[in-house]
């Protein structure tokens, strides 16, 4: 997959779909401000059934909402936006995150900025970034299970006791490299991250920060037994595969959990399509890093 920096914008934005962070009744003021400014432009706002319960409004099934909406909006933190991006992935609609959380690496519009940003959005003063995602395939003799991961896939031990051993394999057509044994990770587990996810669990585990539009796979061991183990960054055309004889838990974006003992292996590739993220034209990733990580603070 090759990340495209200049993504085609919707010709006209006539409708938007909305998802709120679950069980967050206090987000109603965000909804009202958003609804009011969209109504000024005659833009219809659809709300998912789950979110509508907390707003006392009529809601739509998510699939119907995704189909009818020109753009999709989440109100919450990065986790809410990631959940929306995964559920709506097949519809390939641009996503806007309004930040009502803490860090907000992905959701960069605040409550106070809703009106001004919607004005810019309707004036075509915005950009769309195409964020790379991972295609995950859990291999089994009775049938494979396919998912996508926006941030990361974590292979982890099921309990605090003991360690696990993970066999890692890699292949690349471009590098004329057939499938071969890359490493055996022994420790608490392994993180396979996208560049977008590099500032999530990967960062906490000592992995590198990678610019989000980079095409790469990041492999970061979690508390490895050997101090010589270090994170590895692979080109996006690589395919990686992992297996383990130990009981190993697979966590996708911190939201879906599987036990690897029910599968032969897990295979990970770069997905052919990315996720379209709406951002301000003046959004600077390095300014975001400095603000969120307090770089340069005394």
Q: Which of 127, 134, 43, 52 is CA-nearest to residue 85?
A: 134
153: nearest Cα among 236, 87, 252, 85: 252
Whole-number Å distance between alpha carbons of 89 and 85: 6
Question: Around Cβ 22, how many Cβ atoms within 10 Å?
Answer: 13
Residues contacting residue 237 through CB under 8 Å, at least 6 positions apart: 172, 173, 174, 175, 270
Grouping H, G, I as helix, E, B as strand and the rest as coil, residue 197 is helix
Rounded Cα distance between 82 and 147, Å, is: 14
Q: Which of 78, 108, 188, 253 is catalytic?
A: 78
Q: Which residue, among 112, 67, 76, 124, has the nearest Cα to 96 in the 3D structure?
A: 76
78 is catalytic: yes
Helices 114-122 and 28-40, packing angle to 10 deg: 30
CA separation (Å) from 20 to 38, 50, 65, 91, 109? 17, 8, 14, 19, 14
Give, as one character, the DSSP assignment of residue 53. Answer: H
Convert 63-102 into a string of H (helix), E (strand) and C (coil): HHHHHHCCEEEEEECHHHHHHHHHHCHHHCCCEEEEECCC
Catalytic residues: 78
């Amino acid at each position: 997959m090759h990340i495209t920096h200049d993504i085609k914008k919707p010709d006209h934005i006539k409708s938007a779909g909305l998802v709120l962070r679950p069980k967050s009744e206090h987000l109603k003021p965000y909804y009202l401000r958003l609804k009011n400014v969209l109504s000024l432009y005659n833009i219809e706002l659809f709300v998912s059934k789950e979110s509508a319960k907390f707003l006392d409004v009529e809601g739509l099934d998510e699939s119907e909402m995704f189909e009818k909406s020109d753009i999709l909006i989440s109100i919450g933190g990065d986790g809410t936006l990631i959940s929306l991006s995964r559920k709506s992935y097949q519809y390939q609609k641009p996503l806007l995150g309004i930040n009502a959380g803490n860090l907000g690496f992905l959701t960069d519009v605040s409550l106070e900025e809703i009106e001004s940003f919607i004005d810019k959005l309707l004036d075509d003063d915005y950009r769309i970034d195409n964020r790379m995602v991972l295609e995950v395939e859990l291999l089994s003799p009775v049938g494979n299970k396919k998912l996508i991961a926006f941030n990361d896939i974590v292979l982890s031990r099921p309990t605090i006791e003991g360690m696990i051993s993970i066999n890692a394999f890699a292949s690349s057509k471009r590098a004329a490299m057939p499938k071969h044994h890359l490493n055996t990770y022994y420790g608490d587990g392994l993180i396979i991250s996208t560049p977008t996810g590099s500032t999530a669990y990967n960062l906490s585990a000592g992995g590198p920060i990678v610019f989000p539009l980079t095409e790469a796979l990041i492999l970061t061991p979690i508390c490895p037994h050997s101090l010589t183990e270090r994170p590895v960054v692979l080109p996006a055309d690589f395919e990686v595969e992992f297996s383990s004889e130990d009981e190993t838990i697979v966590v996708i974006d911190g939201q879906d959990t599987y036990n690897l003992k029910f599968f032969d292996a897990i295979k990970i590739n770069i997905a052919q399509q990315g996720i379209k993220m709406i951002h301000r034209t003046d959004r600077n990733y390095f300014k975001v890093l400095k603000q969120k990580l307090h770089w340069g603070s005394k």
